[in-house]
Amino acid sequence: MVRIIGIDPGLRKTGWGIIETDGVRLTYLACGTIRSDASKDLSDRLMMVYKGLAIPLADWKPAEAAVEQTFVNKNGQSTLKLGQARGVAMVVPAMCGLKVAEYSATQVKKTVIGTGRGDKNQIGAMIAFLLPKAKPDSEDAADALAIAITHAHHRKIGELKMRVCA
């Protein structure tokens, strides 16, 4: 069994979800949402994300991590802040010795719901189907579980490519 943490980074809300896989089965372990206080300075908010991710990493000790890639939106300031939160979301597992995989939102949707153009309701429905014990407290936590599922699926493809190329 391999334990995976999926992270959906954000400055206001960062979702995290932990699953285990044996290559065929998926098992839900935990998920949650880190909320930062919008009245605080940016550095304080980033520290809230850092501390919030350090807890499940220490408690659950995943072996692998996956983070959603940043999309660029029309507001440059928002994109920059999201990128900073994403940087924190990547460095916390890296500090624990984990290699961090990255997946686009489209790739996560294609893997979990079968199309790259799905919505949050479809992600939630597939999480309920694939991980029936999961009760995410936010869409961000559900997205984090979807990111972990995506990694569980694609990590095997990566291993096979490495074997074929070796």
**Catalytic residue positions?**
8, 68, 140
DSSP string, 53-88: HHHHHHHH--SEEEEEPPPP-S-HHHHHHHHHHHHH
Quote the tokens at residue 156. 């095997």
Residues 110/119, Cβ–Cβ less than 8 Å: no
d(CA 86, CA 92): 10
Which residue bears the tokens 């809230």?
A: 48
